[in-house]
Structure formats: C-alpha cells, structure tokens
A and B are shown apart, each in its own frame.
Chain A
C-alpha cells in the first residue's frame, strides 16, 4: 500500500518539504563550488599565463608547448606510469595470494585479517621512517641480511642508487597500500557460495580447475576495479616519493605530482605548474571515462 509513495518519495509533499531538502543540498553545492570547481577552473585559467601571481602575462598555450616539448615531461610521465603499474600489479598479486589464504579456514585467520589493517592505517610518514631504517645503508636490516647470507659485499644505499630507488619505493608502497586489494578480493571471495565449489568437486575438478573456473570469474570485476582505481591513486602519489627520494637520484623517481610541486611551491612557476596540473587532470579524465563506462560505479546510488 505504501509502494507508490516509496517509488516517488515526497513527490506530492508540501513546498516546505522540498525547501527543507533543497537546504540539505546547499552545503554540498558550496563545498564543490568553493573547493573543487573554483580551484579547477582557476587552474585552467592560470595555465594560460606566465607569472600569474605577479605581473601576469597572457601566453596562450605557451606553457603547454613548453612542457610538451621538454624531455623531462615524457620521462616523468613514464616514471609515473611505471610506479603506478608496478605498485598496482604487485599489490594485486600479494593481495590475491593472501586473500585466498584468509578465505580458507586456516588457524588464526582473524588475526591475519586484523594484521593487514595496520599498514594501511599508518600515516605515510611513518611508513617512510620504517622503510628508511629497514633499507638504511649502515644499520638497515635488509643490508645486514644480504651481507650475512653473502649476497652482497658492500652495503647498498637503496634510495640513493639509480637502479634501486624506484623498486625500493614500490616495495614500501605495496607494504602500505597492498591491503586495499586484499580487503576487496577477500570480500568478493567470501561472497562465492560454497555450493559452487562442491558442485565442481562432484564433477571431479582439481584445485587448479576450481580456481580457474569458479574463483577467478567471480573476481574479475574486483580485479578490474583494483587495477583502475588503485592505479589512478598510485599515479597521484606525492608524499611517499617526496619523503623518500625528493624525486632523485637524478630524476629517476620524479613523477608528475613531484614535478608539479617542484615547479610551483619550490620554484614559483605557477603558470607552468598549473598547465602541468591541467594536463594531469585531463589524463585522469580519460581514465575516469573508462572507469564510468566499464564499471558504472554510479549505479550504486542511482538505481
């Protein structure tokens, strides 16, 4: 009997009701206007000027041309992609492996699950302190183990070595953010009905076949979500890279967010920085379109 009213909530109510609800949307509008649309539009406008905070000079697309023609932009874009892809794939592997373990009825699975929350909740600065000490050239545990097992003779300065700086940041990042993949995959694993596995066993399926034909198809959506969303977030990371290497040695860990910070806050070139921010924004918009088309996340609130 109340189905009609539920389908069209408040449609026929008094004007005061609609006003009340409209008022509830005012803070949302203010929030996005002041802290999102305003800054984004402002960035785009500023990106067409040189020295926008002083005697601004209109340079049209000059800032963009300068950035796109520079060799560093393409190097930093490549670094960003390498960092995003390697951390995301490694997180996926570690998260999937561990989610499969915790999904089994192994002893202490609740403890293992709680364990995975800690790295995720620790502030990035703490993660950086821990890994700086672990990988320290003189006192670090990793160097000690490598030396004692005879794998190296001279201790390694991980964050200051050209070949190892990026892999070191990747490992520390997987340590902190790997739990994201773990928790999403675990939730999806636990949603697979036991009956599916039992039927597979009746049909004589081996563990490998059960994984291939039952488990994996149910995880496909979650894996896609992790690749897209975690990938974007890693592409955006500033703090963990800045705190460990400042983008060095010789730019091997400089990603686009680091470059934006360097150009603006450090060097004061706000026009160029704004142009770079706009480019990054457009890159994200492309991935965002893919995300909306493939996964239609907004269906969760609009359907």
Chain B
C-alpha cells in the first residue's frame, strides 16, 4: 500500500527531507493565503478611515495612516442617498428572510412527515433549481412582473430574491427535520395535544438551530444580491445599498475614500455574522451552500 518511488528507504527524497519540506510548505501556504485574503480587507479599512488630504499625502495611497478621520462617512451621509439605500436593503432583506425561512420550515416539515411517492423527484427539482443561473430566471420574472404591473416594486425584489434563496433553505430544513425524531411529536399527540400545538411547542423548538442557519443563509443571499434587483428595479429610490453604491463609481464627488467607506458599511452585518454565528454557517457550508 505504501511503497512508491518518491519516499521510503532508498527513495528519491528521504523521509526527513520530506518532513522538512512539509513543515516549510505548511507555513508558507498559511502565510501566502493569509496575505491574499487580508490585503484587500486591510486596504478597505485603512482607506475608508482617512481624509482625502492624508490619503493622498504621499502622492499615492497612504496605507500606513498617521491620522484617522470619519470624513468619508460624513460625506456619504450628507451628500448621497446611502441612508435610503440602507433602509431599502434592510426592508428587502427582512422580507426575503421571513418568506424564505417560513417557506422552508413548513416545506421541510411536510416533506419529512408526509409519506408519498416521488420524494426523489422533489429532491431533484429542489437541487436542480439551485443550479440554475439567477439571470436565466430573472429574465422571465421581469416579463411576468411587467405583465402584472409589479415591476419596480419591493414585492418584485423580495419575490425574485426569494426564488434564488429558497431552494437551499428548503434543502437544509428538509435534511434538518430528518434528524428530528417523530417520537416526540407522537408522545405529545398521545397526551392529547392538538396538531398545531405540537408543532408550536415541540417541533419548532427542536428545529431552532436549523431555521437559524436558514435565516442566516437567506440573509446572506438577500444582502448580497445585485443581479435580481438590477433586473426588476429601475426606480433609484428603491435601490438597496449594493445597487445604489454601484452608482457612486460614476460620480465625481465620490472618491476612493467614500467608496471604501460604503464598503465598510455594507460589510458590517456580514462581519458580525461571521464573528458570532460562524458555527451555524459552517454547518450550512457542509450541506453545500453557494
């Protein structure tokens, strides 16, 4: 099993040498990947917290600042619609999280507890819908919303983002409910609890880690979304921050300082999730989130 040309007694590279190479390459990889991941993040923070005067004081971007300032954030608040865009983001994201989480909890429960043929087909439909390009779905949704007079509304934004967020949520809840034994429900029924009370008092508390994960992933999809809102919204007063901030790139009074400042603001909520709720996230990753 373990013989080979490279190692072993008389191999091309001795064991000790391989061990050394291994240790060096481990630390080298750790270093290189850390630099690759951290440099853009460092630059974002450092640029955002400097006034234009200090930022360009050396003729190029100052990356080791001597003085920090909130002037970029003040410019954003005073001269752009950042606050309005942020409120739109919160509104649309909240809509998607509520709709997608509710749908997946109800569906996950039904799919695991109801016995019917064709579960395999349903599973494949859910998984396949998760692989379809958002833009392929966005175009017909655009036409359909157009026909129903829903184009350019919060409803259109929430529905179209839910369309891409829900398949994974349903998949995750379906898997989750499989591990919630039905025995608990049956003993509740046996002691005379109604079906609805059983769901509320027994099933939902047991499923809590599952729907927290689902809510986080729906949040991430909605907060991230650019494609769907780009297609279904045209009124700038409804733009979420992702779409709204992309307009800044074309404006003269918005420089790199403001652009990095808005990036910091957009990154705030995901950053908090990564810090405090990462275990729920990791669980979802292992079930295959996009």
B-binding residues in A (CB < 8 A)? 2, 5-6, 8-11, 16-18, 20-25, 27-28, 31-32, 35-36, 38-40, 42-43, 46, 52-53, 94, 97-98, 100-101, 104, 106, 112, 114-119, 121-127, 129-134, 139, 141, 144, 175, 180, 183-184, 187, 200, 203-209, 212-213, 225, 229, 232-233, 235-236, 238-239, 242-243, 257, 260-261, 264-265, 270, 273-274, 277, 280-281, 284-285, 287-288, 291-292, 297-298, 300-302
Contact = CB atoms under 8 A, between A and B. Distances in A.
Contacts of B290: 180, 233
B170 interface: yes
A288 B128 contact: yes
Interface string B222-242: 011011001100000000001
Nearest to B271: A118
Interface in B254-288: 256, 259-260, 262-263, 266-267, 270-271, 273-275, 278, 281-282, 285-286, 288
Contact of B266 (A97, A126, A238, A301): A126
A239 to B, nearest CB: 4
Contacts of A122: 266-267, 270
A131 B2 contact: no
Given A2-B183, A100-B29, 20 more contacts: A6-B182, A10-B115, A21-B113, A106-B26, A119-B41, A129-B262, A133-B256, A141-B39, A141-B61, A144-B60, A183-B285, A184-B288, A207-B21, A208-B4, A208-B13, A209-B8, A238-B135, A265-B142, A274-B140, A297-B123
A232 B140 contact: no
B166 A31 contact: yes
A281 B183 contact: no
B220 interface: yes
Interface string B44-74: 1001000000000000110100000000000
> Which of A8, A35, A200 has most B Cβ within 10 Å?
A35
Contacts of B201: none
Contacts of A8: 115
Given A121-B271, A208-B6, A209-B8, A39 B111 contact: no
> Which of A115, A131, A229, A298 has most B Cβ within 10 Å?
A298
> Which of B8, B13, B110, B242 has most A Cβ within 10 Å?
B110
Interface in B152-166: 159-160, 162-163, 166
Interface residues of B, number: 111
A199 to B, nearest CB: 9
Given A10-B115, A213-B2, A184 B175 contact: no
Q: In the A-B complex, list the 4 residue pairs whose CB atoms are closest, starting with the nearest.
A: A206-B7, A24-B110, A236-B133, A39-B140
Interface in B103-140: 103, 106-107, 109-115, 119-120, 123-125, 127-129, 131-137, 139-140
A2 B260 CA distance: 60
Nearest to B33: A98
B18 to A, nearest CB: 5
A297 B245 CA distance: 38
Contacts of B182: 5-6, 9-10
B107 A27 contact: yes
Contacts of A35: 137, 141, 159-160, 162-163
